[in-house]
Structure 1
Amino acid sequence: MFGCCVAGRLLQTNIQQIDETHAYFELPNASTINHLTVFLLGTVPFPDGYGATVHFYWPGKGFLLLGMLSNEKPSAIFRLRGSFIESSASLASHTAFSSAPTADAGTDVTAVLGLAIEPLPQIQAQVSQIPSTVARPAGTAAQDPTLLAERIVKHLFNYVSGFVGGSGGVTPELAVPMSIIVRWYETFMGKVRAGGVGFLERGD
């Protein structure tokens, strides 16, 4: 039902079933993980009114609620920022995922990516409490199209301004070469593919 892919690694479909509503992936060499993708394989949908919360467990640091999956949102990309703040939602799944192996694997640790199938209203309530300082699903900023568009235009404006000498301001008379716009577009899309649109909120 689920698949997982850590950036730079092969696709994982070797999910371990705990019970009817909990399952997990083992993620070896966890210290090298920056981004990961979780998705439905498309073979078995969620029952009506249900989805799954996605949890990340780092041995010794605790659980982190990353986000959710649903039939309407069958995939999500998460950026791990090294911040492990245990929320009540993650703690609620701690017992279910405690059976997952998390022992040291040589010089590195094996982390756990847990999935808990729950009613959608309950999932939405949990996800709404995810602190902005921890990992967030890529694309969250797109919930407000107007704000997202404004941030994209501001990003382009700031990028083009970097090529202007003197006063450092872009005036209506300035002719911007298309090569600069193309370069901005390629850089912009590279950032989106790598970690979603969160960089727009940070002003990167």
Structure 2
Amino acid sequence: MFAAIASGNPLQLSTEVPNSNGLQHTIVLSSTKPKSYSHITLFILPNVTFPQEFLATVYFKLNPAEDFKLFGYLGNEKPSAIFKVKLPQANVGNGVTANPSDGLGEIDMEDDVMTDDLNGANANHNISQLIIGISIEPRNDATAKLEQWKAEQAALSSSAGAGAMVLSKNSVQILTAGALAKQYPVVTQELAAKIVQHAYNYLTGFVDAQGNVSIKRFDTWWEKFRVRLQNDATFLDEVTKD
């Protein structure tokens, strides 16, 4: 369904992830030539009819033990993309070479500069373990995920330099609710207020004569809220005080 070409290497086809019903694919660029960076073209195969209501989100990682990191998407309106992948600094001084498993260094989306720097100290590095993950998701879900990713990258690029998305073990990783609140306090407060207001709006319809609401009503609200949040989280933008 998908294919990728690392500059100077043969085309490699995607493989479906078992038990994903064809919704997840991977491409392992196992024969890339050693270099400090490489341009990678990823595209939907010409004979594939990609459904308009879906997008294919694109992820990268350098080591099977790492987590995939989001970097873009493919779809009917964008059947191909070019990525310029830079490894972490290969020569860190005193003859010490950085470990590729430290994570992707930089990746520029749809970079038009097709210049390979194969001479110099970094030429002995390679990206032979680079793994591309592709997830076919409903368009609304994928769009929301991509918008969040763009906002996070904009915050990172403001300190790292325009045009570069720096990813490493030192990058900000939001793994808990507390980390989210610390990194984005204003947005977190706004989100919490929206959730509370949504619950309030729903539960006020079930207040009894004593001003109480059955806990079962709260459980019902929570189950409905979780399903709706999973299907289309943008509904929270429409939550207002009644």
Normalization by structure 1: what TM-score? Answer: 0.48
Rg: which structure is higher? Answer: 2
Normalization by structure 2: what TM-score? Answer: 0.41
Q: Which has the higher contact order (CA 8 A, sep 6+)?
A: 1
